[in-house]
Amino acid sequence: VPNFIHSENAMIVTGKIGEVRKEVGKARAAGRTVGFVPTMGALHEGHLSLMRRCREDGCWSAASIYVNPAQFGPREDLDKYPRPFEKDRSLCEKEGVDLLFAPASADMYPEGHSTWVTVEGITEGLCGAFRPGHFRGVATVVAKLLLIVLPDAAYFGRKDYQQLKVIERMAADLNLPVRIVGCPTVRDGDGIALSSRNAYLSPKERERARVIPGLWREISSRWGRGVRTAGDLLAGLAGELAKHADTVEYFAAYHPETLREAGKDEALAFNPVVALAVRIGATRLIDNFQPGVDGL
């Protein structure tokens, strides 16, 4: 049974850069503000919340689905990354997306492509330390996508907090005329952040992953009681995390803009972002929580 779509115009689906430019041009000529949600597909409520926010902001909305090989390391999950295109396409349609851009790699990285965007500093710690080249791949593809779509605003989840900061930095440094909008992490009923990679977790592994929202609850409660050093905010929690995860890549409190790690005894004059990356079984999970800012 075909989905019945309640929209004035059918969603345009294209892989062609020229067609994206043409359609965006038409929307602009009609006086619309253009919003853009770049994704790698395997869409979940987190992505859909970005699409909704884009529409709530009154935008003519474009979304993209492109699993960007340049941001995967040689031993990472590029080949097994989920690609349920038909399902994704119908979810975009239901959210009222006006244009879905799904390019082929031959168009994004044609032969001879040799320009890369490297953001220094904030890409070096956290995930950057464990995924060499990852943020170069992200910054490059996002710069390209933004230059293809030329939106007024682009929407990204705060779940990938370092990615959001890298993209903000890149857009500012390259004078891209786009507003980068960071949106709240969407969590499942058990508090685990939605992620396309969650699908890899077995039920037992998922049970172990529940340690993460437990940490956020504890940190939120300590912050609420006035705890203001990273040492006290995180005391005992790294051990708790290590009990449930197979590997803890990082778990620390960071300055929300520079991503500098807060000193253990430093008096926190800012709301730190507590961020982590762990491996549970074959799955790598990242999450973060900013006490005093994020809800649970």
| Shorter beta-carbon distance to ligand PAF: residue 127 or 268 | 127
Query: Any catalytic annotation for residue 47?
Result: yes
d(CA 235, CA 240): 10
HSE-CB for 20 with a 13 A CA cutoff: 24
According to DSSP, the residues that pair with 63 across neighbouring strands are 37, 100
| Shorter beta-carbon distance to ligand PAF: residue 34 or 154 | 154
Which DSSP letter does residue 227 get? -
d(CA 157, CA 225): 28
Rule CB under 6 A: say whether 40 interacts with ligand PAF. Answer: yes
HSE-CB for 94 with a 13 A CA cutoff: 14
Q: Which of 44, 47, 134, 244 is labelled catalytic?
A: 47
Q: Which of 91, 97, 141, 233 binds ligand PAF (CB under 6 A)?
A: 141
Length of the chain: 296
**In terms of DSSP bridges, do strands 283-289 and 273-280 run parallel, antiparallel, or are they unpaired?**
antiparallel
| Shorter beta-carbon distance to ligand PAF: residue 268 or 273 | 273
| Shorter beta-carbon distance to ligand PAF: residue 138 or 233 | 138
Query: Minimal distance in Å, beta carbon 160 to ligand PAF?
Result: 5
According to DSSP, the residues that pair with 38 across neighbouring strands are 64
Residues 230-269 that bind ligand PAF (CB under 6 A): none
Total residues at interface with ligand PAF (CB under 6 A): 10
Please state, in angstroms and as integers, the Cα–Cα distance from residue 253 to each residue in 143, 174, 212, 232, following that order. Answer: 28, 29, 14, 11
Yes or no: say if 151 and 34 are a contact pair by the CB < 8 Å rule.
yes
Q: Which stretch binds ligand PAF (CB under 6 A): 116-124, 134-142, 170-178, 200-208?
A: 134-142
* CA angle at 31 for the pair 26 and 37, rounded to the nearest 5°: 70
Residues 144-173 that bind ligand PAF (CB under 6 A): 160, 163
Residues 50-69 that bind ligand PAF (CB under 6 A): 68
Beta strand ranges found along the chain (DSSP E):
12-14, 34-39, 60-65, 99-101, 153-157, 179-183, 247-254, 273-280, 283-289
Residues 181-220 that bind ligand PAF (CB under 6 A): none
Q: Which of 20, 35, 36, 38 binds ligand PAF (CB under 6 A)?
A: 38
Rule CB under 6 A: say whether 142 interacts with ligand PAF. Answer: yes
Query: Minimal distance in Å, beta carbon 148 to ligand PAF?
Result: 13
Query: Minimal distance in Å, beta carbon 67 to ligand PAF?
Result: 8
- Which residues bind to ligand PAF, rule: CB under 6 A? 38-40, 68, 71, 138, 141-142, 160, 163
Residues carrying an active site annotation: 47
